[in-house]
Amino acid sequence: MEEGGLNNEYTQDGTVDLKGKPVLRSKRGGWKACSFIVVYEVFERMAYYGISSNLVLYLTRKLHQGTVTSANNVTNWVGTIWITPILGAYVADAHLGRYWTFVIASIIYLSGMSLLTLSVSLPSLKPPSCLEKDLTKCKKASPLQLAVFYGSLYTLALGTGGTKPNISTIGADQFDDFDPKEKAHKLSFFNWWMFSIFFGTLFANTVLVYIQDNVGWTLGYALPTLGLAISIMIFLGGSPFYRHKLPNGSPFTKMGRVIVAALRKWRVGVPNDPKELYELDLEEFLNKACVKTSSSSSTTTPWMLCSVTQVEETKQMLRMLPILVSTFVPSIMVAQINTLFVKQGTTLDRSIGKSFQIPPASLGAFVTLSLLVSVVLYDRLFVKIMKKLTKNPRGITLLQRMGIGLTIHIVIMVVASLTERYRLGVARKHGVVENGGRVPISIFILIPQFVLMGTADAFLEVSKIEFFYDQAPESMKSLGTSYSMTTLGVGNFLSSLILSAVSRITSNDHHQGWILNNLNASHLDYYYAFFAVLNLLNLLFFVVVTKFYVYKAEVSDSIKILTEELKENAVVHEFNQVNPRN
């Protein structure tokens, strides 16, 4: 403790530079380092959403796919985007570390973006244009064209698997939990992290979407590819200022050993005396260097005997799984933004003035704007008010914040269902049901559901990232961060599964079905109402699982308690020296 006081200019959380040497607090980390990371994320989000926001329309208009097929292809790809971070987290925690995993993955990411730009640019890599009203009757893309297009998309997905779980974790690593000032800054980091992300998203949902719809897909995809290249250079430019945490071994191996050891000794009772539990002390750890492994007892193998620390880390990761499951349903709702919500927009009046047409995907900008406003109001107003009432430095707990987001998701789907019901009523009134013609309602009627989605994200998505990072053990932070991304991946896959199932089930018995290529003859209002009920059931599940969740103790709080205990022991020791009789 005395050494820590004398060398307070160095970080105390184990961070080092790229050579493995301790780092000076004043030279590396903090907001100076985070500025490069935050600017990177602005450009990277511009690249990602520049592709994903309008992808459903490219599949429909250029590859001539139907509503269900195009929507499922989008959600399957987006699901892969958010599932691959598990692989990236594993590589970072077990082998390369976060920095080098990120650098290698970003190169793969850029390669996929470049190939994708070529696939939408070269005439030989896409089917010929078609003027049919029903585009599903046009010539389909050849196997080679589909292979190049989807190959580039999934190469891109593999790259994001290494960047997504590590970039936000690298940012959080720039703040030392053992320093009160830096820890306070860290509490606001994830709010401002999301705030910066959506600057890039806003640009993608307005400028890039407009270019794709009105200028051309080549320029519309080339710009985000250029943006990604710039973002990688910005990140590399900040390398001299980053703090790094060394890889601590595979979290999956650690967790697997604990589970296997527990299964192999399931009949063994747990002793009442904690001293009978196995843990590595310093002497035993140092003696391991000269132990002859050939004579080691089989009972002390890592797959048979684990330390208390390993057991507690595994329990902590498993303890978060019910919370993870409760976020799957709202992730299904998020998947609707770039699929069915956009397809709805194509059926409405998109004109402003005489010549300007609003791209349907640009309504995603209202999600972004709503989130930006909500995050600022939350961080600057709501938290300050609630801190006075709850004495919690976050204002409310992370799970309470998530619960508010889940509640808003119920409202979103109720509003979306009522809006769609009104749209279908107008379509019937003007006789455009059968021909799938333009419904004479302004596209702005969809704005409430987009705005509410941004508000929900400000509560749920921000707290979700912070929760899984904060509650993960120190050696499993990348894996914890990947939890928050995995939920979006699973949500997108579930969206594909549910959409296909509902389309198939509702089309039986000579019914047209709820989701058709002609949305004017569909029943998206029923589909959204089904989602409202699903969200309500999910909220009840969340309330139940949160009652049993116990938050992980803060590292800095533990150190504070330990320091106070050491001081008390020192005072008692001095008193005993002065008063031997006592």
Which amino acid would we find at residue 491? G
Which amino acid would we find at residue 506? T
User: How much is the average pLDDT of 73-87?
Assistant: 90
User: For the segment 503-527, what is each residue's pLDDT rounded down to a tens digit?
Assistant: 888 887 666 788 888 888 889 999 9
Instruction: State the burial class of residue 325 (Cβ atoms within 10 Å of its Cβ: 0-12, 13-18, 19+).
Output: middle
pLDDT at 306: 67
User: For the segment 118-127, what is each residue's pLDDT rounded down to a tens digit?
Assistant: 999 999 988 8
User: Which domains does the chain show, CATH number per domain?
Assistant: 10-249 (1.20.1250.20), 251-306 (no CATH), 320-551 (1.20.1250.20)
Task: Look over the chain and give the mean of its residue pLDDT values, rounded to a whole number.
Answer: 81
| Cβ neighbours for 92, distance < 8 A, ≥ 6 positions apart | 98, 101, 102, 162, 165, 166, 169, 247, 478
User: For the segment 460-473, what is each residue's pLDDT rounded down to a tens digit?
Assistant: 988 888 888 888 88
The mean-pLDDT minimum among 39-53, 260-274, 521-535 falls in 260-274
Q: How confident is the model at residue 279 (pLDDT cuts 50, 70, 90)?
A: very low
User: For the segment 377-387, what is each residue's pLDDT rounded down to a tens digit?
Assistant: 988 898 889 88
Would the pLDDT of 343 be above 60? yes
Choose from 314-318, 428-432, 560-564 the range with maximum mean pLDDT. 428-432
Would the pLDDT of 273 be above 70? no
Angle between helical axes of 143-172 and 67-83 (0-180°, round to 10):
40
Would the pLDDT of 6 be above 80? no
Q: In the chain, helix, strand, coil percent, each to 5?
A: 75, 5, 25
The torsion of the CA quartet 438, 442, 445, 450, rounded to 10 degrees, works out to 90
User: Which DSSP state fits 292?
Assistant: -
- Distance between CA 443 and CA 359 in Å, rounded? 10
| Cβ neighbours for 484, distance < 8 A, ≥ 6 positions apart | 327, 464, 465, 467, 468, 469
Q: Give the chain's length.
A: 582
User: How much is the average pLDDT of 214-231?
Assistant: 91
Report the DSSP beta bridge partners of residue 16: 22, 244
Would the pLDDT of 179 be above 90? no
User: How much is the average pLDDT of 330-339?
Assistant: 90
User: How much is the average pLDDT of 209-229?
Assistant: 91
Q: How confident is the model at residue 288 (pLDDT cuts 50, 70, 90)?
A: very low
